[in-house]
Amino acid sequence: MREEAPALAVKNLSHAYGARKALDDVSFNVARGSFAALLGLNGAGKSTLFSLVTGLFAARGGSVEIFGFDIARQPGEALRRLGVVFQARTLDLELSVMQNLLYHAALHGIGPVEGRRLAQAALARAGLAERANDKARDLSGGQMRRVEIARALLHGPRLLLLDEPTVGLDIKARADILAHVRDLVRTQGLGVLWTTHLIDEIDDGDQVVVLHQGKMLASGAAAGIVSAQGAKNIGEAFERLTGGATR
């Protein structure tokens, strides 16, 4: 990893689909060992940004660096430091939990013995050690998300991206997943970018990037954004920044 480089540096990032501009000159950093939230409504550009950061799309303008490695020029170095949890569920439901993890390990060149060791440790951290041999389809939605997080961390990345990871979960499962990821930041020193449209997933101490209609409206500590808007909380600050948009 490049010394002193942030976990993620997004610089003047722009992207368009034909004539429609999805992102317009977006810049922000995610510090090492920190939790950052990308907050925006549906259609704000969060998924486009996520796709650019993970290398699924090539940016039309600007750059993305992961620990100092440019995703366009040094994709191998950048992506091996990155773990990803997509919004859509991606487990093979007919395989066991362990088989899902071992398949992912093999994709990263990790042999079966080491892969099983890493998978067992990851499942233990996720509180799912006893479900290793169960089929993925037998898990609850929250448990599936925990397995996806465990899988994303198998190859030892230092930056974890999660795209709307609590969509479709009940209140308790949402809270459990969020607490689990925050604990990984605290105990494993991960950098995390968590995309969400849910205000209640933001804490005062979080770094927040507010994205709306492809433009970055604010970036910084949640408490600082609230103060700058003369608001009572991040929800009110978000409404003021977006002109009262709520959906």
> Residue for token digits 């930041």?
185
Helix/strand/coil for 114: helix
pLDDT value of position 3: 66
User: pTM value?
Assistant: 0.93
Indicate the burial class of 60 (C-beta count within 10 angstroms; 0-12, 13-18, 19 or more). middle
Rounded Cα distance, 81 and 233, in Å? 34
Query: Which sign does the torsion angle of CA 148, 32, 22, 199 carry?
Result: positive
Consecutive H or E run containing 70: strand 69-70
Band (pLDDT 50/70/90 cuts) for residue 233 is very high
Q: Are 93 and 136 in contact (CB under 8 A)?
A: yes
Q: How confident is the model at residue 2 (pLDDT cuts 50, 70, 90)?
A: low
**Least trusted range by pLDDT, from 138-147, 170-179, 236-245:** 236-245
Return the higher-pLDDT residue of 4 and 114: 114
What pLDDT shows up at residue 57? 86
pLDDT digits (tens, 9 = 90+) for 169-208: 999 999 999 999 999 999 999 999 999 999 999 998 899 9
For the cut 90, the answer to whether the pLDDT of residue 247 exceeds it is no
Cβ count within 10 A of residue 92? 12
Q: What digits encode the pLDDT tens for the residues 87-120?
A: 888 999 999 999 999 999 999 999 999 999 999 9
Interior/surface letters 199-220, b for 16+ CB within 10 angstroms, e for the rest: bebbeeebbbbbbbbbebbbbe
Nearest to 219 by CA among 79, 49, 54, 82: 49
Q: Distances in Å between the alpha carbon of 133 and those of 46, 66, 95, 123?
A: 35, 34, 9, 11
Is the pLDDT confidence value at 245 over 70? no
186: region left, alpha or beta (phi > 0 left; psi from -120 to 50 alpha): alpha
Domains, the chain, in order of start with CATH, read 1-81+157-247 (3.40.50.300), 91-156 (no CATH)
